[in-house]
Amino acid sequence: MCRWLAYSGSPIALADLLYKPEHSLIDQSRHARLGVETTNGDGCGVGWYPDTSGGTGPGEVEPEPAIFHATGPAWSDRNLLELSRCVRSPLFLAHIRASTGTAVQQSNCHPFRYGQWLWMHNGAIHEFPALKRDLALAVDPLLYPFVEGSTDSELMFYVALSLGLQDDAPLAVERMIGLIEDVGERRGVPNPLQMTVAVSDGSRLWAFRYSSEHNSRSLFFSTDVRTLRALHPEIPVLHEVADGTRIVVSEPLGDLAGAWNQVPESSYGVVGNGHGALHALTPRKP
Amino acid sequence: MCRWLAYSGSPIALADLLYKPEHSLIDQSRHARLGVETTNGDGCGVGWYPDTSGGTGPGEVEPEPAIFHATGPAWSDRNLLELSRCVRSPLFLAHIRASTGTAVQQSNCHPFRYGQWLWMHNGAIHEFPALKRDLALAVDPLLYPFVEGSTDSELMFYVALSLGLQDDAPLAVERMIGLIEDVGERRGVPNPLQMTVAVSDGSRLWAFRYSSEHNSRSLFFSTDVRTLRALHPEIPVLHEVADGTRIVVSEPLGDLAGAWNQVPESSYGVVGNGHGALHALTPRKP
Amino acid sequence: MCRWLAYSGSPIALADLLYKPEHSLIDQSRHARLGVETTNGDGCGVGWYPDTSGGTGPGEVEPEPAIFHATGPAWSDRNLLELSRCVRSPLFLAHIRASTGTAVQQSNCHPFRYGQWLWMHNGAIHEFPALKRDLALAVDPLLYPFVEGSTDSELMFYVALSLGLQDDAPLAVERMIGLIEDVGERRGVPNPLQMTVAVSDGSRLWAFRYSSEHNSRSLFFSTDVRTLRALHPEIPVLHEVADGTRIVVSEPLGDLAGAWNQVPESSYGVVGNGHGALHALTPRKP
Amino acid sequence: MCRWLAYSGSPIALADLLYKPEHSLIDQSRHARLGVETTNGDGCGVGWYPDTSGGTGPGEVEPEPAIFHATGPAWSDRNLLELSRCVRSPLFLAHIRASTGTAVQQSNCHPFRYGQWLWMHNGAIHEFPALKRDLALAVDPLLYPFVEGSTDSELMFYVALSLGLQDDAPLAVERMIGLIEDVGERRGVPNPLQMTVAVSDGSRLWAFRYSSEHNSRSLFFSTDVRTLRALHPEIPVLHEVADGTRIVVSEPLGDLAGAWNQVPESSYGVVGNGHGALHALTPRKP
């Protein structure tokens, strides 16, 4: 199990959200409250899309999002702190990992990247070793060599890509869920899937909440920046961001109620271009 | 012994210089030609000053330079590649390390930082264990707690800071050299110092070349951007940078002659505000 | 703050004690109960003296204890698990670290070693940056170059070595405590020291408990192997070890009462050659 | 490409072979002479079978070989040095890695282990991304979940296990070679395989040399301990080991001729129970 945060809105320094809130993601790495594990110390990562609001200047322009992956706990990672203070982005994903068994290594750190796409996951595929080969076979042979790590999370990403993520993200995730449910059924694994997932192509951000037993890990989104500002005085940057700014988190960044709305069971939200929406999520078996 | 590169000029992505040249710093980590060691695989680091040319946007503005330190070889460090592609800076220092005995750990990676200042070093203090305590005692007691690692290089930085680096950098380095020569003499260590050093406060960049026996490690600077452009077609960004742009390197980034000038023995160069100059370096004993 | 375990008795595999107990040291790395921090994820280490009971065979005989230091959390360190299962020792020290501010790096991992001696520490020197230089000056100039890391714990070791640890361990520790109290007084730092320390020369094992305010971190020792056997059925090796076997721990390895005795405030225990004893600890100012 | 060493004979400390020879494996990590790369700095590993010659004492007896994997260069790994000095073994495999593209992470370090078996590899499967999925499909579904890393080398191990390694090692390796040749042919990859491989079950040690183009990486074995003793005075332990002791290496441990015999193209050697033999290696297509 893990914790994650996704941001979409006015470009801000990553540190404004990752370090400054009362119950920030970095704080959650040592003291998560809503997770299965209180400690998320098995690596961390951020992925961010470039801030092109100030022009680009000389030299190359990177179309791909950038990623940073580290194997140590987020709370003591000095490089993460440094880059979070100097990197400014309008859309970024951050993740702290609590391994459910697979190795602690950079290639198992979220977010995962393929071209323009970023993906991160909290949860697990139950009895993953028993289902892994079937899921690997569901990956498009052309995509197969890009699977670098050994996690269920990354394999879910490549299954979703193979099922059309780049064309219709919610549909592909519904198919991915359906496939995992189907494989679980065939292999005799009840309730195989537990997930909250964030995925982005750089312009939109989707956040999914689902579990086979309809008892999913927590997922919250911010609806109104004005409420966030009032509830989080320790995050001064909130006073400068545009009204359409949205934050999606595994668990709220502070104690006060009102700013954070729970994403309902079996549903997903989409954020981008200044507006957001919630939809039902329907598994689609193969 | 190590290899390093310092850049001052138009803001560019770090990767343009660190990865693209034929004989780039990253290439030198595995195949240095002019160094005592061909392999510089004991850690790496970059330090960079922010590019404020495009305005700063919402949120905090960091006055300090940022640093990235990693303990593995530069050639396989994916985080270094990622950040080098997305970070743009008008003044940065990059370093690949070949340890002369001290531990391979982030706190021993260059560049070192104190407030606005960055410092990196190639070379060694000979018989450092025999001289270390005397040098540590020469560090201002208020600065002493900031020494984090165990290298000669970092201790040289704090000795120079204690001797006035922030007021007059060349004078402080001359005093630091004089102190090391003096301590070496008192402890019976002949020719105690071998160094090329780069130091910056964010507006100026100084590069020093010195050794007790007047047989110093190599150090080169670029004088004319137009020549650089002609000799390094594999670095397209050179066509976009301003004419005052300067690069200082432990060894040239390519084979062709003409673009790279050797810094003379016992001298230093200073770059900034569009012009540069070379001066003699005179050790000043305490 | 940290957690540690020290063992003296019949040679056993390290894993028997580090992994098998209900509330083992490895379990404590994620879920400490009596510590200031529940998470001890900032590195780990073990130091062990060789088992010479079976003869030595061909090749070199190492007189020094061996050490293993890792920067990641103990709970996910595969090398620690591997070596704990294959290394057998009659006297070993194990430590999991929760940094009080200094860098997470191997040279800051306990136990520290000097020649035949091992040292590990739980606690802190308060306002260490303010006292560090004075303590460093108290280290014998011949020992000074051996200080490799940046922790208060290692510096305490070298101060104790400078004050005669190898001649009379308890006396040297009393002098070290007195010196730290004295330096704290001179620098205006009230209650400067908080410590439990284990130290060994390979034949004896000392465990010290002290704090300036007489409110020290917890420290327990096992008195009777027969009670331990009854209370820890999950540690089968206890049935095979000699009666003089002793374990000293920051916190007990299980819930049941009876097997673990608290070391009193301001006192120390010594174990070795089949017997143990408790003594009062009297700080001795310089 | 990589370098490796395998030892079978009287129990010795690993350090006697890994560190003491003039051109030791650790020295080869920085200065290989016969390899494609002079630097092998992308991780290292050792696997060893326990020395049971002195009895086992109290506590558990581990039937499996132990492994140590590290991601940094061997030359600066202090844990490798420590354990090499204290671990004594009659049969061990040691490996230094130069990645051919896959990630530098512990799960990609050799030797790989499955139950009683250890496997390590020098070489590459050419255009591995194009062949990887076909090879993964050839792994027995029951073994598939045990593949942890992303290298060609580990996948070869699991293909060989799936083709009967535990029943008849040379036959399984011949089948594995045949399968890779067949997959290469079907996918249009000429000369897909380059390998030297060491494999052991704890009693026997096999060393294979093969490449599709019959131009394989170097592989040497020691035939006569008396010659080794004369040529390697810097390895004193050779004077104490039994006459049947054998060493197999990617490149010789010293300059002098006479002690090291090249394993012929397309052949393999087997060592164990005091005798050794060389055989031809015949690829067997599926």
pLDDT tens digits for A8-57?
999 999 999 999 988 888 888 888 877 667 788 999 999 999 987 765 55
Whether C176 and C281 have beta carbons less than 8 Å apart is answered as: no
Residues of B in contact with C137 (CB under 8 A): 137
Instruction: Search chain B and give the residue with CA nearest D43.
Output: B72
Residue with tokens 């995050």: A235
Residues of C in contact with B155 (CB under 8 A): none
Instruction: Search chain A and give the residue with CA nearest C98.
Output: A76
Domain ranges of chain D: 2-53+61-280
Residues of B in contact with C145 (CB under 8 A): 128-130, 132-133
| CATH fold group of domain B2-53+61-280 | Glutamine Phosphoribosylpyrophosphate, subunit 1, domain 1 (3.60.20)
Instruction: Search chain C and give the residue with CA nearest A70.
Output: C72
* Higher per-residue pLDDT: C36 or B187: B187
What would the two tokens of residue C50 be?
């060789």
CA separation for the pair A70, A89 (Å, rounded): 20
* Average pLDDT across chain D, whole number: 91
3-state SS class at D181:
helix
Backbone region of residue B38 per phi and psi (left: phi > 0; alpha: psi in -120 to 50; beta: other values): alpha
CA separation for the pair C73, C96 (Å, rounded): 8
Q: In what order do the strands lie in the sheet with C260-262?
A: C66-70, C44-49, C88-97, C2-13, C246-249, C220-222, C260-262
- Looking at residue B57, what is its pLDDT? 59
* Average pLDDT across chain A, whole number: 91
CB contact under 8 A, C73 and A30: no
User: pLDDT confidence of C232, banded at 50, 70, 90?
Assistant: confident
Interface pTM (ipTM) of the complex?
A: 0.93
Instruction: Search chain C and give the residue with CA nearest D83.
Output: C66
Please give the share of chain B, as a percent, with pLDDT higher than 90: 71
- Please give the model's pTM, rounded to 2 decimal places: 0.94
Residues of A in contact with C30 (CB under 8 A): 37, 39, 41
Residues of A in contact with B106 (CB under 8 A): 78
pLDDT tens digits for C99-143?
888 999 999 999 999 999 999 999 999 999 999 999 999 999 999
Nearest CB among B128, B144, B150 relative to C107 is that of: B150
Q: What is the dihedral of CA C259, C265, C268, C269, to 10 degrees?
A: -10
CA angle (D101 as vertex; D72, B69 as ends), nearest 5:
40
**Per-residue pLDDT in tens (0 to 9) along chain A, 286 residues:** 699 999 999 999 999 999 998 888 888 888 887 766 778 899 999 999 998 776 555 554 556 899 999 999 999 999 999 999 999 999 999 999 998 889 999 999 999 999 999 999 999 999 999 999 999 999 999 999 999 999 999 999 999 999 999 999 999 999 999 999 999 999 999 999 999 999 999 999 999 999 999 999 999 998 788 888 888 888 889 889 998 899 999 988 886 567 788 999 999 999 987 677 899 999 999 9
* Higher per-residue pLDDT: D262 or B38: D262
Nearest CB among A55, A59, A82 relative to B67 is that of: A82
- Looking at residue D244, what is its pLDDT? 86
CB contact under 8 A, D58 and C241: yes
User: pLDDT confidence of C163, banded at 50, 70, 90?
Assistant: very high
Nearest CB among D38, D78, D99 relative to B76 is that of: D99
Residue with tokens 């598994």: A283
CA separation for the pair D32, D29 (Å, rounded): 6
Nearest CB among B128, B130, B145 relative to C132 is that of: B145
